Structure 1
Amino acid sequence: MSTDPPGWELPLRLLLGFRVLIDELHAELARQGHPDLRPMHGFVMQAIGRGGTTAAELGRLLGVSKQAAGKTIDTLERVGYVERGADPADARRKVVRLTERGIESLALAARIFDDLRARWAHALGEDRLRALETDLRAVTPPGALRLDIPGWFGGLD
């Protein structure tokens, strides 16, 4: 009889680790003044980036419809993380940009992730955590991280 865990456990443990980190991130974001942010909002704001984008481009990046992207933009605009404006190169085109609050929340999230990583390093040991990160890089595609998780999981909101 094998002592190896069943194959289906690996993706669930990876997802659970992701969930633990994201839940802790959002609890801390809420404590530090960002209670309206939801996990998918991070993907959306990363996809918008510092240069801004259109709802159609955002939908393509996230793997969702323009309408789903627009609904999330509406939510983020209502709570002050993004704003819409005319494209300086084409006034017919509306561009979504991060507000100062949106930029600040991403910087805060980065600092919180650093703190969470440090806690995991303390719990597991720095060498083991670094080995885990190296191993995950070895079995995942190189390059930029994909932002189409919302579409892959079935949409936004």
Structure 2
Amino acid sequence: MGEARRSEKKDQDPDIGILTARLLHGVQRTLFGRLADEGFDDLRPQHGAVLAYLDEDGSRAVDLSRRSGVHKQVVSKLLDELEQLGYVNREPDPRDRRAKLIVPTPRGLAQMERSDAIMGDLERDLRNVLDAERFDTFKADLLRCQAALGR
């Protein structure tokens, strides 16, 4: 018998990249599945790069790009899609008329409210899986790892 293939090794002992990707995909499946069930079935996980960081009173695209870590050209494309879908509008920024402010529409605000509630439910569910103290430690450890990698 030969040595296990690389893919088999990764299945048996996944590295941190694989584990975090699986966690992200699981969170996205849960979040966007529930949002679809609630009438927001036109959203894709990629839209989360904008929607997760959007403030109720609006945000600048450059800030959405910086917070999400997604290139500004990708954010611009996502904003085009979200505007066409009726989740955001681009408006002049009252602090700088040369800049645009990305402002959620009533549909966008409703999605943001539901998304926050769903993520709260998901965190409560995971807190029950690990128990509260272990979950809080896990979340703090993820933040430390993120900081160590220069988020």
TM over 0.5: yes
Distance 1:121 1:55, change over 3 A: closer
* Identical aligned residues as a percent: 29
TM-score (norm 2): 0.72
Q: CA-to-partner distance for each residue in 1:97-124, whole Å, 9 max, x for gaps? A: 11121111111112223333454456x3
Relative contact order, higher structure (CA 8 A, sep 6+): 1
Distance 1:71 1:10, change over 3 A: closer
**Aligned amino acid, residue 137 of structure 2:** D
Mark the runs of 5 or more structure 2 residues left unpaired by the alignment. Answer: 1-11
Q: Distance in 1 between matches of 2:123 and 2:100?
A: 38
Distance 1:79 1:60, change over 3 A: same
TM-score (norm 1): 0.69
Q: CA-to-partner distance for each residue in 1:6-58, whole Å, 9 max, x for gaps? A: 4x445433432332232022111111110111223223123231232233333
Residue 92 (structure 1) shift: 2.4
**Aligned amino acid, residue 55 of structure 2:** G
Q: Distance in 1 between matches of 2:133 and 2:15?
A: 20
Q: How does 1:1-157 map to 2 (within 5 A)?
A: 6=13, 8-120=14-126, 124=129, 128-141=130-143
Runs (4 or more) in structure 1 with deviation over 6 Å come to: none
Q: Secondary structure at the match of 1:33?
A: coil
- Equivalenced residues, count: 136
Q: Distance in 2 between matches of 1:115 and 1:56?
A: 30
